[in-house]
Structure 1
């Protein structure tokens, strides 16, 4: 039995299942049996499903070493595949960060795409993350569409998150405007009708009483006019507050926001956001806390006994074996846009305390703060709940807050005991 061949097949199977660390190990055991292809696939698996720009220097060095060695052997297909991958590495890692990378010409390497069939191109399409800084990656996507490997060219958004629902900003704004008490339109109408009746009666009387009746009509008309102006103000205020979106629609928008922001955050923290059991870096799925800006947020207790807010202090936490990466931003819930983005990483042993405390918030509310205290004296705090002495039992809009914090506490405690 050819055990080396078994390792190569095992590497292909692990790669297909996106078990990248296992795939690297299998291909490294198969270097003698399939020297060219095994080295290309080992380099590809070292990317871990990400783009080169997100890898660390040690990984890039290993990838380049394998790609250089591919050309020592006579497998032409592996050489073409290595050329394409090398061009993407050059453009998305070295060019992207303005680093010198020798005399390589990505355009010449890119020409190797023409020598690859659909099955030979497919591994590059499946196992390289979005690399918009690379013209070669873009060319690979275009050819993949032509081959039918992709139904369309993928589009990736970066930076500020935007959603295309044009009705959302106005609808969310109305949700936080109190609906004025219902006002009857019959009062000014009756006043005007009464004034007109008094005038007609005065004309019929044709005496001193006519003046009294006309004066009464004027007073009644003035009262009706004032009431009409109040009614118009009521209509304007009502139009600013109604119709409100349902709580279910508000929850759907928030879930949509968090899903997209988590995806973008995963690209920015430069981690493979798959679980370790699937070849990624994470021990748990990304954990999201949708907090409140204690000083700026407008909050409303909905009919579902849930606190909703127009601004979220959003924190997405990525938990690996050794560290926690935190992507944080402000989410304008009216538009779905994010601002004030920040990324921090902490080793678990640098987290010296995990605490919760209450602070006073505007509007007779109490905000429950969750805080990570760091060994350098800094703190990461977010308002995770809003409580009120008048409205007990109310929930927060994002149901995942409590579970996320439970998992973070669990990981910090576990790593402090290792």
Structure 2
């Protein structure tokens, strides 16, 4: 478990983690101040100090920003709380579960219902992996006779699940658990289109399905790093194992 912090402080520090530094203008002001000061004008010192204060205020959030591992641990803690929420919504008692619940996490970096555009953010960690402020979270609970799922768009900055959806399927109705490449039409923050993505898909005989975007070459190119752990490999392995046992 992570070191105990208050909820407000936790969210504040998460926002600091995702803060993008805006140093262009304070750096320009510092340069102008230095040039004027070198010309032996007293006003250069005033400009230099102003630029320095501006620069400090921009970088100050970094002093208390959590590291990559802390961010990962906090997100895992939040997802554990989402597991409890999903069990309540689906009216499942934990004693009914036949194995640990399965979690699949995917990135969101495009316009999403209920999410302010300014909160769609990301950061490349020191390990080269990309973390996202908004995540698509899918939790699958496996009981004796059925598979139940909970999905939401999770705002990590605010600890708020949005666009929640619950589904229940009998094991016999599940026809496929797979990953697939599919065409998409999402606009990234630089106004380029994310045209293709890798999806996790669980399909049932009725035509319904659970879909989660877990990766995209366009997203990787835009962010310049690898997508952080999504849980997809473990999910597919676990689901196929349970389905093979239940369909015998």
Which TM-score applies when normalising by structure 2? 0.72
Per-residue CA deviations over 1:43-89 (Å, capped at 9, x if unaligned) read xxxxxxxxxxxxxxxxxxxxxxxxxxxxxxxxxxxxxxxxxxxxxxx
Q: Which residue of 1 aligns with 2:78?
A: 257
- Taking the aligned partners of 1:228 and 1:367, their CA distance within structure 2 comes to 48
Q: Does 1:407 align with 2:238?
A: yes
- Bigger Rg, which one: 1
Local SS of the residue matching 1:355:
strand
Q: Does 1:194 align with 2:39?
A: yes
Local SS of the residue matching 1:195:
coil
Offset at residue 317 of structure 1 (A): 0.8
* 1:174 and 1:242 in contact (8 A); partners too: no
- Taking the aligned partners of 1:191 and 1:370, their CA distance within structure 2 comes to 59
Offset at residue 391 of structure 1 (A): 8.4
Mapping for residues 15-94 of structure 1, pairs under 5 Å? none
Offset at residue 167 of structure 1 (A): 2.0
Q: Which residue of 2 aligns with 1:342?
A: 165
- Taking the aligned partners of 1:372 and 1:284, their CA distance within structure 2 comes to 18
Per-residue CA deviations over 1:286-313 (Å, capped at 9, x if unaligned) read 1111222252443322112222110111
* 2:178 and 2:236 in contact (8 A); partners too: no
Q: Does 1:298 align with 2:121?
A: yes
Q: Which residue of 1 aligns with 2:204?
A: 374
- Taking the aligned partners of 1:370 and 1:350, their CA distance within structure 2 comes to 18
- Taking the aligned partners of 1:357 and 1:299, their CA distance within structure 2 comes to 24
Per-residue CA deviations over 1:209-262 (Å, capped at 9, x if unaligned) read xxxxxxxxxxxx5x8877777666544543466643201110121121012221
* Count of residues paired in the alignment: 224
**As a proportion of its length, which structure holds more strand?**
2
* 2:109 and 2:134 in contact (8 A); partners too: no
Mapping for residues 19-418 of structure 1, pairs under 5 Å? 164-180=6-22, 183=27, 185=30, 188-189=33-34, 191-192=36-37, 194-196=39-41, 234-239=55-60, 243-274=64-95, 281-293=96-108, 295-296=110-111, 297-358=120-181, 359=183, 362=188, 367-385=197-215, 387=217, 388=220, 394-397=226-229, 400-416=231-247, 418=248
Offset at residue 169 of structure 1 (A): 2.6
Alpha carbon RMSD of aligned pairs, Å?
A: 3.4
* 1:372 and 1:380 in contact (8 A); partners too: yes
Q: Which residue of 2 aligns with 1:3?
A: none
User: Unmatched 5+ residue regions in structure 2?
Assistant: 112-119
Local SS of the residue matching 2:141:
strand
- Taking the aligned partners of 1:414 and 1:393, their CA distance within structure 2 comes to 38
Q: Which residue of 2 aligns with 1:65?
A: none
- Taking the aligned partners of 2:137 and 2:23, their CA distance within structure 1 comes to 34
- Taking the aligned partners of 1:192 and 1:415, their CA distance within structure 2 comes to 78
Residues 335 and 164 (structure 1 numbering): CA distance in 2 closer, same or farther, change over 3 Å? farther
- Taking the aligned partners of 1:310 and 1:392, their CA distance within structure 2 comes to 16
* 1:310 and 1:332 in contact (8 A); partners too: yes
- Taking the aligned partners of 1:409 and 1:288, their CA distance within structure 2 comes to 15
Local SS of the residue matching 1:288:
strand
Which TM-score applies when normalising by structure 1? 0.46
Offset at residue 393 of structure 1 (A): 8.3
Local SS of the residue matching 2:39:
helix
Offset at residue 338 of structure 1 (A): 1.9
**As a proportion of its length, which structure holds more helix?**
1
Q: Which residue of 1 aligns with 2:117?
A: none
